[in-house]
Amino acid sequence: MSGKVFIFKVLYKNKHSPDTCKTKIVKKSHLLPVQ
């Protein structure tokens, strides 16, 4: 559940700032293992 909430927050921020979030998603993707 926490994982989905985290992704939801990232997507929400993506709408506000797609440029900064794009790099954040890439970094988080490496840190957070996709299950």
Cβ count near 26 (within 10 Å): 9
**pLDDT given at position 7:** 72
Reported as a single tens digit per residue, the pLDDT across 1-35 is: 567 777 777 776 656 555 554 556 666 655 555 55
- How many structural domains compose the chain? 1
The pLDDT of residue 32: 58
The pLDDT of residue 10: 73
The span from the CA of 17 to the CA of 11, in Å, is 10
pLDDT at 5: 75
pLDDT at position 1 is 54
What domain range is 19 assigned to?
Answer: 2-31
pLDDT at 8: 74
The residues, ordered by sequence, that sit 6+ positions from 4 with a Cβ below 8 Å of its Cβ are none
Secondary structure, 3-state, the chain = CHHHHHHHHHHHHHHHCHHHHHHHHHHHHHHCCCC
